[in-house]
Amino acid sequence: MRRVAIFPSGWHNGPRPTMPLYVTAAHDIFVGALLLLTYGSVSLVAVQGGLQIVGALLPKRPPRRSARPRTGFVSIHVPTCNEPPVLLKNTLRSLHGLRHGDFEVIVLDNNTADPAVWRPIQAYCKELGAPFRFYHVDKLSGFKAGALNLLREKTDPRAEFIAVVDADYEVQPDFLTEALRYFSDERVAFVQFPQTYQNIGSGNRGLRIEYEHFFQNYLNAGNRFGCVTATGTLTVFRAAVLRHVGPYTPTSMTEDAEMGARLFFAGYRGVFVDRVMGRGVMPYDFVAYKKQKKRWARGNMEVLMRRFTDIVFPSDLSWAQKLALLSQLGAWTNFTLLPSLCIVAFSLAEMAGIGEGRFTERIILVSAAALAIHVATKTVAFGLLFHGRYSWTDILRALAVHFGMNWTYATALFLGVFRLGGKFERTNKFIIPRVPPAVEHSIFEIGMSIVSAVLGMIAVAEGRPAIAAAAVLVFALHASVVMVDAETRFTKRVSAMLLKELETRTRL
């Protein structure tokens, strides 16, 4: 068999062993594919980052609000699973104080094994009186979607609107009266208010701002282009349109986004009202926080993949709507997984002396460009959104929190596209005295941080600035997980104080 050089001429500086032709062909295919993927990653990162900057620059367009209050029977649905009774009682107390006169509140506790958790809520609903109904169901399937579907079955047939409120949200007295002002247009299927939190203090403002950026950027753009998706709580739906499109999808990890997308493609629209109408509680610890973000990222990616052809192929959607939907559903994902892995793998190969000359350097530089664009565009977008509202210290903390979840966001894209694994993981709201250390749930982030730090130091010592710069980018993205851990530790302390305060308020 004829033997040829394994690497094309000029891609290495010294003699290389020869290999059979079929091996060379396989190698060239791999090289070509990898180059295409890395250049593709740069393009996708640039497009995603550019859309985020455009979203941050867009002037706000508040939806049309009726000057007159609107009447109508509202059914308020509160699904709950193993929630601290004091937290849920606070939510129900706030719902009892709503100024809108014509409503019911249905509490559905599902899959809570301990009667000591759900029986106090059952008793409290009886104490609050007729508008409140309580149900407990064991072994209910379908995640949160299953609970919402059962709640719809138990809804009073008079209901014109259905409001979904999470079990930890203390709502404002004018929540319903304000929401109903935005239903003058019959095409409006739902009204979405922003999510914000009670357990906030000086030590976790970064978490708060990182949550807030989704609403200020993506839902603001959705408002402008008529393609807002729902976010799961503080959402008021028109009951008739829910009946029209059918039940929630019981296999969806983010049933809210799935329903919002389904309503949009059925010809309806949602509106985002940038006014705080309720405050919930953030996850108390690092593990719960990471699980929540993983669920959001994976769930929204599943919705995006399911609706991808509807969005990108020719349809009645404008280009602005297509891009806004792609950006919104992809808000918790990014395209940095391949560049990060390439930098580490090819830097190790280069340091070990088994690199392939200019090809190795090219892969590292292109991958570093992708990460640099990612960091730069995120920084610009956050700065445009929050400059003047928060200090730069807090904005940078929010960026560090966002980057600290980079591995979760990046892998969610890969897992979602290939539909690998994934399950619904509810957010724990009990204070757990001793939780597993963050290190146990950040093995990949810590591993990437250590390897990139070592590579960076070796590269500096050997005078290889390209590898050093690339390693610094990988380190910065993955080591930022430390900021997430620090801020969630503060959240736990603030949350313990909040629960004590609610206990006192309940006794009074």
All domains in the chain, ordered by first residue: 18-58+333-421+429-495 (no CATH), 72-172 (3.90.550.10)
The model carries a pTM of 0.90
Among 283, 316, 365, 292, residue whose Cα is nearest residue 39: 365
**Which of these, 304, 292, 495, lies nearest to 405 by C-alpha position?**
292
- Closest to 336 (Cα-Cα) out of 497, 219, 470: 470
What CA–CA distance (Å, rounded) separates 139 from 169? 25
Give the separation between CA 424 and CA 298, rounded to whole angstroms: 10
What does the pLDDT profile of the chain (508 residues) look like in tens digits?
443 333 333 334 445 556 677 666 776 677 778 889 999 999 999 999 999 999 999 999 999 999 888 899 999 999 999 999 999 999 999 999 999 889 999 999 999 999 999 999 999 999 999 899 999 999 898 889 999 999 999 999 999 999 999 999 999 999 999 999 999 999 999 999 999 999 999 999 999 999 999 999 999 999 999 999 999 999 999 999 999 999 999 999 999 999 999 999 999 999 999 999 999 999 988 999 999 999 999 999 999 999 999 999 878 899 999 999 999 999 999 999 999 999 999 888 887 776 566 778 889 999 999 999 999 999 999 999 999 999 999 999 999 999 999 999 999 888 877 666 556 555 655 555 555 567 778 889 999 999 999 999 999 998 889 899 999 999 999 999 999 999 999 999 999 999 999 988 877 5
Q: How many CA atoms lie within 13 A of 315 on its CB side?
A: 17
Backbone angles phi, psi at 117, to 5 degrees: -85, -45
Q: Where do we find the tokens 């699904």?
A: 79
Contact yes or no for 255/232 (Cβ under 8 A): yes
| Percent helix, percent strand, percent coil in the chain, to nearest 5 | 55, 10, 30
**Pair of tokens at residue 388:** 């003047």
Comparing C-alpha atoms, which of 459, 429, 423, 242 is closest to residue 348? 459
Nearest to 296 by CA among 263, 336, 258, 253: 253
Other C-beta atoms within 10 Å of 45: how many? 23
C-alpha 70/C-alpha 74 separation (Å) is: 11
